[in-house]
Amino acid sequence: MSSSAPVIAGVDFLCVPTRNYEAAASFYGDVLGLPFGKRWGSMPAGEFETGNLTLVVWEPEAFGSAFQPRTDPLALRVDDVEAARSALESRGVEFEGDLIDSGSCHQLMFRDPDGNLLDLHHKYAPVAAE
């Protein structure tokens, strides 16, 4: 490990790819209930706020990149995984598998309309130091 002072102060945003910006914006805004930040001009991209991280929903092909869904889970913090599950199921979200209890958090996986893996996440206990 370096003893140098850190250069990085935090993470500002994370990109979530889509094939259809309007449909994805509806999912992240209406279904998940994330506050809309701003549209990227006339480009098919916009920002949704999570409280600590901005999600940029974008059509990579409009920016010269290939679409590929996220296969690593994007963990979305909730106060109660089961309550969040009920709310999202009532809005048409289908979950994959059962509740995961790691001993320090609860998690439940689902996908957005483009196949990006999302995760309801609640940390209920600190991770024990080894």
Q: Kindly report, residue by residue over 9-23, the tens digit of the pLDDT.
A: 999 999 999 999 999
More confident residue, 35 or 129: 35
E strands, the chain, where?
A: 13-17, 36-39, 45-49, 54-58, 74-77, 95-101, 105-111, 117-123
Asked if residue 129 has pLDDT above 70, the reply is no
- Asked if residues 13 and 55 have their Cβ atoms less than 8 Å apart, the reply is yes
Q: Which fold has domain 13-61+68-123?
A: 2,3-Dihydroxybiphenyl 1,2-Dioxygenase; domain 1 (3.10.180)
Q: DSSP assignment of 42-64, as one string? A: TSSEEEEE-SS-EEEEE-GGGGT
How far apart are alpha carbons 14 and 12 in whole angstroms? 7
Report pTM: 0.90
Q: Kindly report, residue by residue over 61-89, the tens digit of the pLDDT.
A: 999 999 999 999 999 999 999 999 999 99
How is the chain split into domains, by residue range?
13-61+68-123
